[in-house]
Homo-oligomer: A and B are copies of this chain.
Amino acid sequence: MTVPTRTTVKDTNRARLIRQLRRHGPMARVALARRTRLSAGAVSAITGELIDEGILCELAAPAPAPAEGAAGPRGRPPVELGLNPDHARVAAVSIRMNLIEGVVADFSGRAIARHAVVCQTRSLDAAGVIERCAQAIDGALERAPGPGPRAIGLAAQGMVDPGTGRQLWSPVLRTGSMDLAAPVAARFGVPVLVENDAAATSLAVVRDQPDLQRGLVAVLMLGHGVGMGLLRDGGAFPGSRGFSSEIGHVRRLPGGAQCRCGQRGCIEAYLADYALYRDGRSLADLPHTDSQQPTEDHMVELARRAEAGEPGLLALYQEAGVALADAISIVGSVLAPRRIVVTGSGLRAFRLMEPTFRSALARAFAPGLVPERDVLFVPGGAERITAGMAHLALEAVDAGLAERPDRQVFSAAG
């Protein structure tokens, strides 16, 4: 009479186990049971299924830490379970100034191939952007023969709308608003996610840091611009605009420095690479940048000359330090995150900003500001963008896996 009943209970528990492993890395069945509050029997049953389906796999026992002579753990040693790298792949793309980079990642999130497309991004029209993204993905796929991606994540600088998959504005493009997700999805036939690059980075930054996977965490990313990602319990914490925040365009000084967004006095206009270099060129004889953004070499040169005492340049970094303190103070006041992480290539010259940053942060100890010990600096490069975006794409794949294979047939029929 009744067709196979479909309940949501097991799907939910499958999803919980997969997410646990996705966010916190490999762990043994006991650990899964403890952390998901499922019984050992249920974990055994579900993980057995997931292993049969090739979603999970047992990992070689971890090094039993024989360093200490005594005190080996007694009892049957646990066997770590991890996401099976071979189960599925995703692709991630980072759109940056004059560089569109594609990555293919395995199911565990490890990047297995990379392909960079160098091009004048500000000269491209919308079709050109899509074309270069596809090239970046195809190039990476060619270097990693095997199955195609099951989902694709696109990370773009500037404002994006993850809900519609559109780029609204980007400093590296001249297209204005354009659809990113739909054309790429049509081309590869898989779901496409679009996010801001700072948001994507934030996911990668907290990846292997358990302390940052609890509570509300804000990740401020300094680079060509100033972006921020908001995370809760290690996962995206979406507002209406994905989980990125335009903290860079909060005004810190009415009528202040010109920002490329059109306003004056934005935090970004004092703290971002483009602003530091622009102002530096007003003060010193620095190399011309043909795109509107300085390269890493330009920025290193600027910092070197500021450190060498070239007149006025140090003051730029000192002001940037205060702007960074302002940004942290605002985030602390508005949101009170458990931790505020600062990362990105903009930290390269942090030593020049640090004195003014520290004193401004101490002065700005307004009610609600998180104390200085809650501000962390995490170095790291642009590879975090694709790593985070791959993670996001993988979570989308996971969501589909929670529904068991036999179900998908039903849901397609019903």
Contact = CB atoms under 8 A, between A and B. Distances in A.
Interface of A: 8-9, 37, 158-159, 168-169, 215-216, 228, 238-241, 245-247, 249-254, 261-263, 266, 326, 329-331, 333-338, 364, 366-368, 370
Contact of A245 (B249, B251, B333): B333
Nearest to A266: B366
B246 A367 contact: yes
Contacts of A249: 333, 366-368
B367 A159 contact: yes
A240 B336 contact: yes
A239 B364 contact: no
Given A263-B364, A364-B263, A366-B263, A334 B250 contact: yes
Given A246-B367, A263-B364, 13 more contacts: A158-B367, A159-B367, A216-B239, A241-B336, A246-B334, A246-B336, A247-B334, A249-B368, A251-B326, A262-B366, A266-B366, A330-B330, A334-B335
Nearest to A169: B367
Nearest to A230: B335
Q: How many copies does the complex hold?
A: 2
Contacts of A329: 250-251
Contacts of A335: 239, 245, 334-335
Contacts of A238: 216
A334 B330 contact: yes
Among A168, A169, A241, A337, the one with the most B-chain Cβ atoms within 10 Å of its Cβ is A241
A241 B215 CA distance: 11
B336 A334 contact: no
Contacts of A367: 158-159, 168-169, 246, 249, 261
A250 B333 contact: yes
Contact of A9 (B9, B240, B338, B368): B9
Contacts of A254: 252-253
A9 B238 CA distance: 27
A241 B331 CA distance: 13
B333 A246 contact: yes
A159 B365 CA distance: 14
B364 A330 contact: no
Among A254, A338, A366, the one with the most B-chain Cβ atoms within 10 Å of its Cβ is A366
